Amino acid sequence: MRPCAGLFADGTGAGGGGHVRIMSEMTFPLHLLATVLGGLLLAACEKAPDKPPVSALDRPAAVNAAIGDPPSRSEAAPQAARGLAIYRRHCLECHGEQGRGQAGDWRVRDAEGHYPPPPLDDSAHAWHHPTAVLLEAIRDGSPQGQGKMPAWQGKLSEQEMQDVVAYIKSLWSDEVYRLWWKMEWQSLEP
């Protein structure tokens, strides 16, 4: 049996009259399909409107992830500077100067059963969390019974919380920042 045998309605296979008949019946739908696909491809080739270049910070994180580059830290400097001012007003007392934390082990519960505030620099675990989780921790505070961090939702704007996260990220070494970026990227995958 040849590879095409039995594929045609009249059972004649690749060499019989059925081949010509069936292929000619398929010719019209194939031409129609080719025309439609060609039109779609041409429509997709229209020149996109001119837009200014988009920085790594303004692109959706998923696009940055596809590129493989973490957002430029120098581009984030103004946001991190705003975050530092907010951090000094609201976070410094608990998380320490430059996010270094307080004396003692942040991994050991206190007498009340709560964990102390962790350092936010790269000596602890803040960098193990994607941006969405960091924002959630600021917005909602410590999980019930875990720590004493208050919820900042309604006290800080969403932009102020994002600025604080940008400041926290600025505390991490370049090596830790690259490792964090890989994890951020993975968190964005469906």
Give the model confidence (pLDDT) of 99-149 as tens digits: 999 888 999 999 999 999 999 999 998 999 999 999 999 999 998 879 999
pLDDT at 121: 94
Q: Phi and psi dihedrals of 14, rounded to 5?
A: -70, -25
75 falls in which pLDDT band (50, 70, 90)? Answer: confident
Give yes or no for residue 92 having a pLDDT over 90.
Answer: yes
Q: What percent of the chain has pLDDT over 70?
A: 64
Give yes or no for residue 13 having a pLDDT over 90.
Answer: no
Q: Which residue has the tokens 């007498």?
A: 111
